A and B are shown apart, each in its own frame.
Chain A
């Protein structure tokens, strides 16, 4: 089929290299702390990043001091270097780091809370908790303020990663550290942010915080989000298995947590099982050598939210036999790129680094 066409204008921050460093401090490997710090830095335009509509830090904790815009003391952003990211056991009330970042282009107070905590502290930082909310993570907005030992809450918070339930976020498996690259896509209007962590030729982390395209009438302040991560460095994230076969996309509707799938064009796989067309077909189109780029839909089977609820902006299902890093077109404009089983916008010039 023809190359797809972008709806939005995309901005990129690509190939941010984090070298492996397993020096342990603050309950985590150094390079894992640097990797998570780097994501925050890119989102909020610190350093060289120049997104048109960046995220904004609201409050944070460096495990010593907590506070920010909504309450407390000190600067909003207390994550200034990797030493400010301190992991702790999630159920002991130990001092730990966390941060709240806001993207008002998704909804007025759409915020992501990242907490440096693990089910039992493993001194590697490979798990986190991650929540999203639209009401604000602070008492003034109906939640609770955070302290160094107790992260803040929001009245409509929705957990995406859970430290007690395999909170791997993309920094690889436990107890071993890896070099890798962090890539961030952000639409110029701020409505869509996607983060892909590449380690060892694998998409080890795939995060998205988006407004849906053409949302169902009646779905107020729609958003969807996920932050998939693998416990190893060999299992790609953002695959058919994660969000096409399973409800791996989170959202909220009418005060209730919902789960969604990324649907796509599908067909029988010749042995009686419906699958994605990019799974069932195992070669490019034999008439014209083109590759699949199938529109992603948003569907849910959650009670009271059953139905098809829109599409995904500028993100497509591709062939599952194509490896991360193939460009579309393969030479020349390189307008799109294969990332795991999907096709995403690309900047046309940067060579993606995967290992």
Chain B
């Protein structure tokens, strides 16, 4: 098909390297870290780039500064010092170097971070990243992540110490406006004290409405993050129109078919429309990604070759729909990413569009993302 055009300006941060390093840094600010240095470095860099934003570099033009995430408060070593927890709204990013964010089990000293995105919803969205894992043999491969709505008075996550994570503000049901994305679940591959070297990439919409993060290990898509607003949201979808997904296995990930898991299982999360339950799992609802489909498969699995008449490779809009109670229906689309033929997305290599030269789009697995013309590094 004709190459798609971007609906908005994006900042791309591509091919960023994190060296493999299995050092646990025992004796760091927490006394015991329980996370390999490479995993801490990866999360440090991802959070740092989410905050840094930068200048848009692809899109329709009229570029300005990216409306990025901001640090609302955090718990960390603040450049090698003793682990300390901030206070809500102090704006201090205590994750400066990778020893600042130790991992630990429940009730023990660890790092956490509260990021705010004021560009989504009426008052904004907050993301809590908690370096907690179920047991100290997990070595940082598991994590907790929660999303919360900023309240009308500007409050959000509150409290938190070096050994406990922040909680929703007083008077707000912990489940009404808050939901869990990861709970002692994989985000960077299973650890076992084995070093992992990643290359990570980040797409930030200039208006701050969407953030995509993808990282590769050894020609495998380790994880995909999606945090932001759908395009063409269903009418009457109350604010915040926000979806979040983090597809990362506890193992080292998967390859080409991996991306279609978002089609086959409801990986994308949001809040149920009424949010009347007192249980997170009931207020949280799930969406499938949709695709042009026929003959019991999405087009990108049915077709394994380019169009035999035009020679072009098809791309398809990525929609989203939910089958959950009180949120049943087609709800919108993901901005500026597309389905591509699974047969040509395998790593190493993936595929670029156009196939030679400008590399405006890069496909890995079954999804096609805007690209900056560089050669993607996936191992």
Residues of A within 8 A of B (CB): 1, 216-219, 244-247, 253, 261-268, 270, 272-277, 280-288, 290, 292, 297, 299, 301, 304-309
Contact = CB atoms under 8 A, between A and B. Distances in A.
Contacts of B4: none
Interface residues of B, number: 42
Contacts of A286: 273, 325-329
Contacts of A307: 303, 306-310, 312, 314
B294 A244 contact: yes
Contacts of B314: 307-308
Interface string B235-252: 111000000000000000
B293 A309 contact: no
B294 A306 contact: no
A264 B294 contact: yes
Given A272-B264, A274-B296, A281-B330, 15 more contacts: A245-B295, A247-B295, A263-B294, A264-B292, A264-B294, A266-B294, A267-B290, A267-B321, A277-B330, A283-B329, A286-B328, A287-B273, A288-B236, A304-B308, A307-B310
B234 interface: yes
Contacts of A270: 323
A148 to B, nearest CB: 41
Interface string B133-148: 0000000000000000
A287 B298 CA distance: 26
A127 to B, nearest CB: 27
A319 to B, nearest CB: 11
Interface in B274-296: 288-296
- Chain B at the A interface: SS class: loop
B10 interface: no
Given A277-B321, A288-B236, A305-B308, A266 B303 contact: no
Interface of B: 1, 234-237, 263-266, 273, 288-299, 302-303, 305-310, 312, 314, 319, 321, 323, 325-331
Given A263-B294, A272-B264, A305-B309, A287 B330 contact: no
A285 B295 contact: no
A216 B307 contact: yes
A303 to B, nearest CB: 8
B315 to A, nearest CB: 10
Contacts of B266: 268
Nearest to A243: B294
Q: Which of A274, A301, A305, A309 has the most CB of B within 10 A?
A: A274
Nearest to A1: B330
B323 A281 contact: yes
Contacts of B236: 287-288
A266 B298 contact: yes
B294 A261 contact: yes
A111 to B, nearest CB: 24
